[in-house]
Amino acid sequence: MPICINRRGDIFEQFIEIPEEQIESCNLQYPLTHALVVARSVNGFLLLYNTWKKHWELAGGMLEEGESLRECALREMLEETNQIPDKIQFMGLMKFVLASGKTEYGGLYCAFIEKERPFEENAEAKEIVFWDQAAPIGYIDEIDQQLLNYYPLLR
């Protein structure tokens, strides 16, 4: 039973709680391709408006050669939103079956931002918001919205 399906047909199939230090010794059936970050400040959850996809989503992206999942999460968060977390915690691995038919894993991190930094528009992100989960902001990817539920109390 899938956890969530977004409007493109991508399926968030499984969440695997695993310690971060065991990722490399884990025998995954599919490639580990990316990291996502559920981040928040006292003002709400950090979302970026993706210029290409034309909707709100979490910070995150593809692993680069030789990069750890944690390095990827921090790099993507900085590149896309200009935010630097004060606390970051690995939550586990997400298994996705994409509408294209490809199956892959991604790492999920949760982070807390003490001091919000000014946003700098970039090729991927038009703007950011610290969302209170109530204000109408437009379409948020269903999977990313589901991932907000994995945020623990880091404070």
What residue spans define the domains of the chain?
4-150
Architecture of the CATH domain 4-150: Alpha-Beta Complex (3.90)
Residue 29 has pLDDT above 80, yes or no: yes
DSSP string, the chain: --SEE-TT--EEEEEE---GGGTTTS--SS-EEEEEEEEEETTEEEEEEETTTTEEE-EEEEPPTT--HHHHHHHHHHHHH----SEEEEEEEEEEE-TTS-EEEEEEEEEE-SSPPPP---SSEEEEEEE-SSS--S-B-HHHHHHGGG-----
Using one digit for the tens of pLDDT, what is the confidence trace for 1-25? 899 999 999 999 999 999 999 998 8
Q: Which pLDDT value is given to residue 154?
A: 47
Residue 118 has pLDDT above 60, yes or no: yes
Average pLDDT over residues 91-105: 97
pLDDT above 90 (res 58): yes
Least confident of 16-25, 27-36, 60-69, 146-155: 146-155
Q: Encode pLDDT of 73-91 as tens digits.
A: 999 999 999 999 999 999 9
